[in-house]
Homo-oligomer: A and B are copies of this chain.
Amino acid sequence: MTGSIPIQSVRLYEVSPRDGLQNEPEILSIDAKRRLILGLVGAGFRDIEVTSFVRPSWVPQLADAAELVRSLPAVQGVRYWGLVPNERGLERAIECGLRNVATVLSASETHNRKNVNRTRQESLAAMRQVIATAKDEGVAVRSYISTVFGCPYEGAVAVRDSVALASQLFEAGASEVALGDTTGMGDPVLVQRVVGAMAAAGLPLSRIALHLHDTKGTALANVLSGYLAGVRIFDGSIGGVGGCPYAPGASGNAASEDLAHMFQAMGIETGIDLERASQVGVALADDLGRELPGRYHRFWLGSQARARATRSA
């Protein structure tokens, strides 16, 4: 590990409107969500997961999915994504005009059963069908695999299980597979091992994303490890929103502005305007009525306050 760090551009995939907001006690209005999403577009995000088409009674925070998607302006180069749990969700997503959808299953058998009340194989069969239908419609599919880096019920998850699932999802036609560290159990060595196993199995790293949570503070170190192992797509949520604020200390997704800042400081292009991304983080914290865990937007807010104090002194 003594070679130079390669400098290649990365793509950030933004999950705050879906994975972020679905765990918040505060339900944002459709106007606030639109402001968030348009703010993200303005800050340079090009892939934004805007909502989920699960049954509204399951995730009331996202019950406005169809209305929200219909209200979003088409922007050149911007892909809006919607999570779909099944064929019915896929239909709903397509009905409101989405051309990009995401599916999810777990690498851990127990987590998959608790999450969707199916075995992994049942989920995989269902997702194959969703992916096939989506492809028939010309809709792109990103497939999440949750708990790749550890399961809150089972502990360690066999790397070969994640590799087998990723391989089957690619074969089924997924355009991208996102490896999720659902409860922040990953570490840099494990990330290297998992990504290395994916590459060794011949899977295309250029189409593998890392979706990392910062529960124990390791998200950015894990991102760096994934980058060094060859991954170039990273998920984040602005402000790091996405933990469960009811659980003390639960931290959310890797904060997008922290990711963007780290890469840009390294000389790696992300396409993100850090100032505008920080403004979006500050506005979201305001809308949710709580301090968000992301660092950079708070650093930026502090530097603005210091600049004002200097001007008025």
Contacts and interface: CB of A to CB of B under 8 A. Distances in A.
Nearest to A259: B217
A273 interface: no
A180 interface: no
B251 A295 contact: yes
B216 A249 contact: no
Interface in A269-313: 294-302, 305-306
Interface residues of A, number: 49
Nearest to A5: B189
Contacts of A190: 265-266
Contacts of A6: 1
> How many protomers of this protein does the assembly include?
2
A16 to B, nearest CB: 16
A223 interface: yes
A138 interface: no
A217 B1 contact: no
A4 B250 contact: no
Given A189-B267, A192-B4, A220-B221, A247 B302 contact: yes
A119 interface: no
A216 B299 contact: yes
A218 interface: yes
A261 interface: yes
13 contacts: A1-B3, A1-B5, A5-B189, A187-B266, A190-B266, A216-B262, A217-B258, A218-B261, A221-B224, A247-B302, A249-B297, A249-B299, A249-B302
